[in-house]
Chains A and B, each alone.
Chain A
Amino acid sequence: GAVVSQHPSWVICKSGTSVKIECRSLDFQATTMFWYRQFPKQSLMLMATSNEGSKATYEQGVEKDKFLINHASLTLSTLTVTSAHPEDSSFYICSAPTLRGVADIQYFGAGTRLSVL
């Protein structure tokens, strides 16, 4: 199956700093990638859709200036959490779809655990 790599797997940072998370599709190209957030013992909530070569599409309630998304190539999307605060601590997961038949199948990264002190 397709492989999606996410880096780093775990990051601890001080409040006020910015953190960049990378999501790479290793063996396929993805014009679209998705970023999810997961709080402890809760499900995944879609934050935004990353579009190669154009602006990301954010879900309602997600701050665009807080969560900057860049999709500079067909295999890489980055999520930057700007001026991170403790409430941004969470598990962030990306996914990239590839077409199988009539619809896409999404492949997920291993996730990034962000802890803001």
Chain B
Amino acid sequence: NAGVTQTPKFRVLKTGQSMTLLCAQDMNHEYMYWYRQDPGMGLRLIHYSVGEGTTAKGEVPDGYNVSRLKKQNFLLGLESAAPSQTSVYFCASSHGQGVQPQHFGDGTRLSIL
């Protein structure tokens, strides 16, 4: 009954450091997404994937990279963290067929000092 699992839940980085956020889903969903949530701005799409081995840019992709080597996992990387990337990051997944809702993880709270 796990659904979408994000690790880690919290992280503090220094400017210039790198890190990878992991998202895992056990629902056999084709589509996976990474969003960032900032106060008063709703959710903004960073990158998404429609299947294993494919990724695409969303609204705010700069400074981030992603990989989808396995269907169940979607990784978000920050190569050189900046304070502007302080945010709450959410992963979501959905079926590729039909108009299905997204299922969300509980988020990763990331602070860049």
Are A and B genuine complex partners?
A: no
Interface residues of B (CB under 8 A from A): none
